[in-house]
């Protein structure tokens, strides 16, 4: 994780974008020592949005919790990916 002040990020913005595409390392931008923005790749943003969508679906979260509980209690059938795709 790279951390830069807002003023430094402004001066180096183009280079930061180039660096981000190569390293895929998030870049935190600070103002008065506190993070106010984070540069991330489009792929990371897509993953974040997908996670936000999933965690916002209360029914899906409930089903996941039920499935995890069943696994913990040994009350679940397990399948390989190949078995599921047959």
Asked if residue 36 and residue 6 are part of one domain, the reply reads yes
What does the alpha-carbon distance between residue 61 and residue 27 come to, in Å, rounded to a whole number?
Answer: 31
Asked if residue 62 and residue 32 are part of one domain, the reply reads no
Asked if residue 55 and residue 33 are part of one domain, the reply reads no
Q: Is residue 30 part of a domain?
A: yes
Q: What is the pLDDT along the chain (86 residues), one digit of tens a residue?
A: 899 999 999 999 999 999 999 999 999 999 999 999 999 999 999 999 999 999 999 999 999 999 899 999 988 888 899 998 98
Number of folded domains that form the chain: 2
Residue with tokens 């935190």: 28
What does the alpha-carbon distance between residue 19 and residue 39 come to, in Å, rounded to a whole number?
Answer: 11
Q: Is residue 81 part of a domain?
A: no
What does the alpha-carbon distance between residue 56 and residue 82 come to, in Å, rounded to a whole number?
Answer: 30
Q: Is residue 84 part of a domain?
A: no
Provide the domain limits for residue 51.
44-76
Q: Residues near 37 by Cβ (< 8 Å), separated by ≥ 6?
A: 6, 28, 29
Asked if residue 28 and residue 50 are part of one domain, the reply reads no
Asked if residue 7 and residue 36 are part of one domain, the reply reads yes
What does the alpha-carbon distance between residue 10 and residue 12 come to, in Å, rounded to a whole number?
Answer: 6
CATH no. for residue 28?
A: 3.40.1620.10
In this prediction, residue 59 carries a pLDDT of: 93
- Supply the pTM of this predicted model: 0.68
């Amino acid at each position: 994780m790279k951390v830069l002040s807002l003023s430094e990020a402004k001066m180096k913005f183009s280079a930061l974008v180039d660096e981000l595409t190569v390293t895929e390392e998030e870049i935190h931008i600070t103002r008065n020592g506190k993070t106010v923005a984070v540069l991330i790749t489009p792929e990371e943003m897509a993953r974040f949005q997908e996670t936000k969508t999933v965690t916002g679906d209360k029914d899906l979260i409930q089903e996941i919790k039920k499935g995890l509980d069943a696994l913990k209690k040994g009350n679940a059938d397990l399948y390989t990916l190949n078995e599921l795709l047959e």
